[in-house]
Structure 1
Amino acid sequence: MSAVSTPPDAPGPGAAQPPGRRDAEATKAAILHAARHLLARQAHADLTLKAVAERAGVSAPLVVKYFGNKDALFARVMSFEEDARALLDAPPAELGRHMVRHVLVSQRERGADPVLRIAFAPLHGEHGDVLRANFRAQVTERLAARLTGPDPAVRAELAVAALLGLGVMFGIARGAALRAMPVEDVVDRYGPTVQAHLDGPAPRPPSEPAGK
């Protein structure tokens, strides 16, 4: 993975955060998780800050304090910027395995898939168009820009499609056999599938001259 610079005044990786800051970050994470959960189950017009607050176990004024109004909160939820940064944080030759691992670990440890919410765009009318536009710009086009060789856009979209299929089976269909496997076993099996799309088809050998 690429190195991430740390601001000079930020605590190091092993340093404990002050309790207030730690609690605030946990609260924000709970609110975002609740908003994602509801976004996958209700039309945007039916979503309320009160429902998000109840799902997160906090008060509605606290949601407003951290995220502002409903549109600001769901604009954050409908962005793939942060998730895509982590999802694509590996060298091209290792990206297939990294993407598979990241999806599985995200679902198991955080209960949130980094890209699967694009599947619920049809629920949200015009806001679904925003979700699609964000997904194209922040996930598939960003991935395509990292690929060399022919048809990078097609290869990126096929790789992400394979990843979405894994997310659906693991997180929505909840395939029992798949969920029982250790993460690295799934990575070993499915990572090469995603990587094959990223790499693209091998060049075809030149055809033999006629008459041979």
Structure 2
Amino acid sequence: MSAVNTPSGTSAAPARRDAEATKAAILRAARHLLARHAHADITLKAVAERAGVSPPLILKYFGNKDALFARVMSFEEDAEALLAGPLEDLGRHMVRHVVVGQRERGADPVLRIVFAPLHGDHGDILRTNFRAQVTERLAARLTGPDAAVRAELALAALLGLGVMFGIARGRGVRAMPVEDIVDRYGPTVQAHLTP
């Protein structure tokens, strides 16, 4: 597929890549702030500063603050990557996904459920989205009895690892090579996925 030329004769493909990178930076910034502050306390200016863009650019890409945070509070894309492995090796895949996310990006977007406030619309939306987009989606892939409970237990184990690695910053776990963590902890998660 060839790139479309713009009137100045330049390719439009780099502009699309830049736009996608900018959108990703805005989403990362909004997730970062949402993990640390109440939704009502976050301004578009704060998101823009963290992302290194102007507030009008956020409006261009997302429309308004509510639309931006609706996207941020969705786990759809994150669940896609987290659950992308084959069922017989999904525990290892999920552990690797969380640990690599922590090491390369300093966070895993699925872990933002840990920061969901107990009360208020923001927390309710995050919990509802997590249940529908992550827990129920995982349960639908499982066979055998108690699939819903097993999905919740597998995710609880995974979130616990994420908390120890990224929030509690356990020295022993953080010092281990990724594949060593996968080898030791993957079976713990997998035990709930395949009875």
Summarize the alignment of residues 31-180 of structure 1 with structure 2, pairs less than 5 Å apart. Answer: 31-122=26-117, 125-180=120-175
CA RMSD of aligned residues (A): 1.7
| 2:93 alignment partner AA | H
Query: Structure 2 stretches of 5 or more lacking a match?
Result: 4-11
Q: Which protein has the bigger helix share?
A: 2
Flag the 1:160–1:167 CA change in 2: closer, same or farther, 3 A.
Answer: same
Contact 2:87 2:141 in 1 (8 A): yes
Q: Please list the CA deviations of residues 4-55 of structure 1 after superposition, one character each: whole Å capped at 9, or x if unmatched.
A: xxxxx599xxxxx932122212111111111011001111111111110011
Deviation digits for residues 67-103 of structure 1 (CA, Å, limit 9, x no counterpart)? 1101100110100000101111111110000000011
| Structure 1 residue 157 displacement after superposition | 0.1
TM-score (norm 2): 0.91
Q: Which runs of 5+ in 1 are unaligned?
A: 1-8, 12-16, 201-212
Q: Which runs of 4+ in 1 moved over 4 A?
A: none
Q: 1:111 to 1:123 in 2, by over 3 A?
A: farther
Aligned length: 187
Larger Rg: 1
Give the letter for the 1:134 counterpart.
N
Q: Which residue of 2 aligns with 1:4?
A: none
Question: Percent identity at matched positions?
Answer: 83
Deviation at 1:66, TM superposition (A): 1.0
1:191 aligns with 2:186: yes
Change (3 A) 1:127 1:108: same
Please report the TM-score for the alignment, with normalisation by the length of structure 1.
Answer: 0.84
Please list the CA deviations of residues 111-147 of structure 1 after superposition, one character each: whole Å capped at 9, or x if unmatched: 3313110111116721210110000000000000000
Tell me, what secondary structure is at the counterpart of 2:53? coil
SS at 1:122 equivalent: coil
Deviations 1:164-209 (A, max 9, x none): 0011011111112211111111000000000011123xxxxxxxxx
Amino acid at match of 1:86: A
| Partner SS, residue 30 of structure 2 | helix
Question: Are the counterparts in 2 of residues 83 and 115 from structure 1 also a CA contact under 8 Å?
Answer: yes
